[in-house]
């Protein structure tokens, strides 16, 4: 089964790993620092593509949808996007619009969606956290109106116990550590339809 993981740094595996898009052909660094690696470890029969690019906003990720998702004809796409939009001051509505486009395009192509929630970063301001929560709350409501659509609470998976706005562990304060990426994979994998 082919699975495309589409997103930003928290899909690519920043800061310890560069995705195959960032460092062709196979990526560079410690591949354990990415949830797509752990998905493949849990299910070696899956073909898992890491299509994360550090620093990209939701509109930039959406612009790669044809090349990185549709061209591979996957059974499932895992989509996590929006943290860089929030970081750069864009409103929640901008991210929701881009996510809607990607979710709709996947549905039109018959691709099941696993939507991840935006993962925290430790330097986020109260306003930035509020926008991330607005987007994540919207994501969590989508299964009520969408077919073949699951939500993985990747924010909760990577967050510290008792504080949803801080990472449990991080090499740079901005991205999960290896354990955090592994935890993200553990909440995503059970949602991949067989």
Q: What is the pLDDT of residue 42?
A: 96
8 SS3 class:
coil
C-alpha dist (Å) from residue 78 to 2, 106, 124: 11, 10, 24
Greatest Cα-to-Cα distance within the chain, rounded to the nearest angstrom? 42
User: Phi, psi (5° rounding) for residue 121?
Assistant: -135, 150
18-75 per-position pLDDT tens digit: 999 999 999 999 999 999 999 999 999 999 999 999 999 999 999 999 999 999 999 9
**Distance between CA atoms of 127 and 77, rounded to whole angstroms?**
30
Residue 113 contacts residue 103 (beta carbons within 8 Å)? yes
- For residue 193, pLDDT beyond 90: no
Q: What is the pLDDT of residue 155?
A: 98
Whole domain around residue 187: which residue ranges? 2-191
CATH number, domain with residue 27: 3.40.50.1110
CA 95 to chain centre: 13
| Strand runs labelled E in the chain | 2-7, 17-18, 28-29, 47-52, 76-80, 112-116, 149-152, 159-160, 163-167
**Distance between CA atoms of 180 and 33, rounded to whole angstroms?**
8
Q: What is the pLDDT of residue 131?
A: 98
Number of domains the chain is built from: 1
74-121 per-position pLDDT tens digit: 999 999 999 999 999 999 999 999 999 999 999 999 999 999 999 999
């Amino acid at each position: 089964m082919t699975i495309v993981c589409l997103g930003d740094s928290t899909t690519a595996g920043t800061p310890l790993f560069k995705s195959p898009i960032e460092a062709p052909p196979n990526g560079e660094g410690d591949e354990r620092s990415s949830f797509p690696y752990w998905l493949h470890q849990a299910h070696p029969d899956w073909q898992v593509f890491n299509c994360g690019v550090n620093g990209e906003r939701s509109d930039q990720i959406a612009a790669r949808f044809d090349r990185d998702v549709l061209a591979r004809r996957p059974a499932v796409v895992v989509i996590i996007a929006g943290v860089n939009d929030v970081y750069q001051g864009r409103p929640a509505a901008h991210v929701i619009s881009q996510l809607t486009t990607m979710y709709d395009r996947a549905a039109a192509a018959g691709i099941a969606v696993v939507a991840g929630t935006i993962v925290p970063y430790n330097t986020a301001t109260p306003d930035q956290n509020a926008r991330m929560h607005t987007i994540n709350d919207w994501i969590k409501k989508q299964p009520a109106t969408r077919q073949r659509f699951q939500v993985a609470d990747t924010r909760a998976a990577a967050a510290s116990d008792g504080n949803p706005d801080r990472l449990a562990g991080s090499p740079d304060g901005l991205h999960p550590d290896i354990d955090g990426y592994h935890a993200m994979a553990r909440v995503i994998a059970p949602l991949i339809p067989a």
